[in-house]
Chain A
Amino acid sequence: MHSATEQPVVRPMIAVENLTIGYGELVVLERLDFTIAAGEVFAILGGSGCGKSTLLRHLIGLEDPMGGTIQVAGAPPVQDTGPPTYGVLFQSGALFGSMTLHQNVALPLRTWSDLDAHAVDTIVRAKLRLVGLEGFEHHMPAELSGGMKKRAGIARALALDPPLLFLDEPSAGLDPVSSVELDQLLLTLNHSLGMTTVIVTHELQSIFTVADACIMLDRGARGIIARGHPATLRDTSDDPRVRAFFNRQSRPS
């Protein structure tokens, strides 16, 4: 699902224009311009502290930009106004601690659909099975490991079958097997449903496996230092920062 051949009729799923973001007075990233095509797996890369997660929080409408515009499916991202048009996986999973896994995944379904309890249960179990957590329905989040919480977070993000999925460091803290399974899951969802996926990550393995396109952010430059297909960037970029990112990350530890 490469977006290299751009079709002018297709409106991008996400369009970011001249975006400046930060906290209070502090500018973290400035004058960002990029688009994410529908059906694309798009990776936001960069070292720690470069503003990846902050950018994601703006894309999903949790923070207001200092300048510029963000359009998600043709409208600025807003929250709390109706059924969500996208799913989000937070870095920690952000499961509701007072609810079981089942209740966590069922919450968006109970809120935004008129399905009866049996139908909700069927969907919840299917979503949990998808992320390998069937059997843990009645566990509380505190009883799960970090990786399991994250997978449960994905099940909840997928509950309403959104056309767009945001993932903040999905494979950080997952064991290698689960991490590969997660990549496969994302690829399958992308191929079969055409789900647009935006991933914030620095896991090289998963970038090369799943991403169609990426942007690389840099703290010093306060902006995008490279964009394109990850493998192409790795092989052709002569920017030392890009090379350092790919080389440092791929060196066995």
Chain B
Amino acid sequence: MSDADTPGFHVDRIDLASDRAALRFAGALRFRECFAAWDEVRGMLAPLPPHLDLDVSDVDGLDGGATALLLELRAEAASAGSETAIVGATGRVQSMIELYGAHPKRPSLQAPPARIGILDQIGRETLTLVNESNALDFFGDSVVAAAQAVRSPRRVNWADVPRLMERAGADGIPIVLMINFLVGLVTGFQAAIQLKQFGANIFVADLVGLSVTRELAPLMTAIIIAGRSGAAFSAELGTMRVSEEIDALRTLGLDPYQYLVFPRVIALTLIAPMLTIVADVIGIAGGLLVAMFSLDLTFQAYLAESEKALDLFDVYSGILKAAVFGLAIALVACQRGLATRGGAEGVGRSTTSAVVTSLFAIVVLDAIFTVIFHAFGH
């Protein structure tokens, strides 16, 4: 005979006959105490008799976790070949055992999520990248939607366009002003340090004017739009997807492309050039400030030099770029939003992905533009 004694409960083994033994439990079985002492209790099964009774007649309390352990113990003994029964259960103890024992054990339907190795993960991510078939579907559907919109413009949700333009444009003006002013200022300052050495102070105007209008203003503005509106569109559409609103829209006979995607694409394609014009002006103003205070150039001289240096093409090319950036951001953000799967976490993932993919697209498009403009001699 052996026994296990813990503060809450007590177990002892009674060998009744050569083929029969009982584990007698007494006291209150609470899972915290039980788990701590359970290895000892399981040890008391050995040597395993052909017939084993788990006697709980002296148990005056049994919680859920302890019931699970008890049933596990019975199953363990049974699978080892012993005929095992829980005996002597009455009242609350009995009802707990019935409650937990009512459902038969079933194997897991799915294997637990396995840890995946680094190589495996790289492979999977690569495959996902390659298989972004729904992204292609999306762009195909967008083209179809655009064609339909041209054919029957009444189906497009034009009413949303001004509101979206206000949110993406007017509300974003302060940050666009701030960032582009500082970028103009920094560019002017860096140029000034170099040009001062050659006494070529006045060319700060050329450098700032050209780099701001051709490159920096459209790029910085697009980055701001990607961070503000791209993230917003993707989160908005993602939440709508997750909360069945997109499905509801479709059951009302409204095409999500016409109703949600198209107005957003129009809004960003229109608003990005407008913000870029603002950014051009404020960027040149940043350079002007440096020129006036650190290079002793006059206001008139700086502006006259800027006018001489800048072609209309420089400004237009920047604006054209911005329109394409806006289009790309809207398409990427809407695609990521509509492809959202799986609750709040999915919305977060698609928003992150929308911003990162937009930034990537912006830089790639910018490089393509540079090559094209260069090929045409600009």
A residues sitting closer than 8 Å to B (CB atoms) are 57, 60, 62, 79-84, 86-88, 90-92, 94-97, 107-108, 111-112, 153, 156
Chain B residues, Cβ within 8 Å of A112: 253
Max chain B Cβ within 10 angstroms of own Cβ: one of A86, A111, A156: A111
Would A84 and B248 count as touching, CB distance under 8 A? no
Task: Point out the residues of chain A lying under 8 angstroms from B251, CB to CB.
Answer: 60, 62, 79, 84, 86-88
Asked whether, in the complex, the Cβ of A88 is within 8 Å of the Cβ of B248, the reply is: yes
Within 8 A of A (CB), among B245-273: 245, 247-256
Chain A residues whose C-beta falls within 8 Å of the C-beta of B239 in the assembled complex = 97
Given contacts A92-B243, A97-B239, A97-B243, contact A111 B248 (CB under 8 A): no
Contact of A80 among B240, B244, B248, B250 (CB under 8 A): B250
Expressed in whole angstroms, the Cα–Cα distance for A83 and B240 within the complex equals 21
- B245 in contact with A97 (CB, 8 Å): yes
Cβ of A83: which chain B residues have Cβ within 8 Å of it?
253
User: Please, how many angstroms separate the alpha-carbon atoms of A88 and B253 in the complex?
Assistant: 11
Please report which residues of chain B, range 7-27, place their CB below 8 angstroms from some CB of chain A when the two chains form the complex: none
Contact of A94 among B245, B254, B255, B256 (CB under 8 A): B245
B253 touches A94 (CB 8 A): no
- Within the complex, the shortest CB–CB distance from B138 to chain A, in Å, comes to 15
Contact B247 A80 (CB under 8 A): no
Chain B min CB distance to A118 (Å): 19
**Could you list 14 examples of A-B contacts with CB < 8 Å?**
A79-B250, A79-B253, A80-B253, A82-B253, A88-B248, A91-B244, A94-B245, A94-B248, A95-B248, A96-B248, A97-B239, A97-B240, A111-B252, A111-B254
Q: How far is the CA of A111 from the CA of B252 in the complex (A)?
A: 9
Which secondary structure characterizes the binding site on chain B?
Answer: helix
Chain B nearest CB, measured from A15 CB (Å): 20
CB of A59, distance to nearest CB on chain B (Å): 11
- Judge whether A94 and B250 touch: CB under 8 Å: no
Q: A84-B251, A91-B244, A97-B239 are in contact. List 18 more A-B contacts (CB 8 A).
A: A79-B253, A80-B250, A81-B253, A84-B252, A88-B248, A88-B251, A90-B244, A90-B247, A94-B243, A94-B244, A94-B245, A94-B247, A94-B248, A95-B245, A96-B245, A96-B248, A108-B252, A108-B253
Q: Which residues of A contact B253 (CB under 8 A)?
A: 79-84, 108, 111-112
Measured between beta carbons, the chain A residues less than 8 angstroms from B252 are 84, 107-108, 111, 156
Cα distance A92–B343 in the bound complex, in angstroms: 13
How far apart sit A169 and B243, CA to CA, in the bound complex (Å)? 15
In the assembled complex, the CB of B164 is this many whole angstroms from the nearest CB of chain A, namely: 11
**How close is A36's CB to chain B, nearest CB, in angstroms?**
17
Residues of the A chain whose Cβ atoms lie less than 8 Å from the Cβ of B240: 96-97
Q: Which A-chain residue is minimally distant from B244 (CB atoms)?
A: A94
- The 7 tightest CB contacts between A and B, nearest first, are A94-B248, A80-B255, A94-B244, A79-B250, A88-B251, A84-B253, A90-B244
Considering the complex, give the chain B residue whose CB is closest to the CB of A87.
B251
Contacts of A108 in B (CB 8 A): 252-253
C-alpha spacing A97/B252, complex, angstroms: 16
Q: A80 CA to B248 CA in the complex, in Å?
A: 11
Least distance between A54 CB and chain B CB atoms (Å): 13
Q: Give the distance to chain A from B265, nearest Cβ to Cβ, in Å.
A: 17
A107 to B250, CA, bound (A): 12
Separation in Å of the B221 CB from the closest CB of chain A?
Answer: 26
Closest to B251 in A: A88
Residues of chain A within 8 A (CB-CB) of B245 are 94-97
CB distance from B342 to the nearest CB of A (A): 12
Contacts of B243 in A (CB 8 A): 92, 94, 97
Contacts of B250 in A (CB 8 A): 62, 79-80
Cα distance A226–B183 when bound, in Å?
A: 71
Chain A neighbourhood of B244, CB < 8 A: 90-92, 94
**Which residue of chain A lies nearest to B258 when distances are taken between CB atoms in the complex?**
A80
Residue of A nearest to B256 (CB): A80
Chain A residues within 8 Å of B247, by CB = 57, 62, 90, 94
In the complex, how many angstroms separate the beta carbon of B95 from the nearest chain A beta carbon?
15
CB distance from A103 to the nearest CB of B (A): 11
Q: Name the distance in Å between A141's Cβ and chain B's nearest Cβ.
A: 10
In the complex, chain A residues whose CB is within 8 Å of the CB of B248? 88, 90, 94-96, 153, 156
User: How many Å from the CB of A209 to the closest CB on chain B?
Assistant: 26
The smallest C-beta distance from B162 to any residue of chain A, in angstroms, reads 15
> Contacts of B254 on A, CB cut-off 8 Å?
80, 107, 111
Closest to A108 in B: B252
Residues of A within 8 A of B256 (CB): 80
Tell me the smallest distance from the CB of A236 to a CB of chain B, in Å.
26
Residues in B whose Cβ lies below 8 Å from that of A95: 245, 248
In the assembled complex, the Cα of A91 lies from the Cα of B245 at a distance in Å of: 11
Within B193-247, which residues are at the interface with A (CB < 8 Å)? 239-240, 243-245, 247
Query: Which of B240, B243, B252, B254 has most A Cβ within 10 Å?
Result: B252
Give the shortest distance, in Å, between A113 (CB) and chain B (any CB): 12
Min distance, Cβ A50 to any Cβ of chain B, angstroms: 14
Task: Give CA–CA (A251, B104) in the complex, Å.
Answer: 21
- Alpha-carbon distance A116/B252, docked complex (angstroms): 19
Least CB distance from B262 to A in Å reads 13
Q: Name the distance in Å between B240's Cβ and chain A's nearest Cβ.
A: 8
What residue in chain B is nearest A111 (Cβ atoms)? Answer: B254
Residue from B243, B247, B251 with most neighbouring chain A CB atoms (10 Å): B251
Q: Closest approach, in angstroms, between the C-beta of B239 and any C-beta of chain A?
A: 7
How long is the Cα–Cα vector from A153 to B251 in the complex, in angstroms?
12
How near does chain A come to B339, taking the closest CB pair, in angstroms? 15
Chain B residues positioned under 8 Å from A62 (CB to CB): 247, 250-251
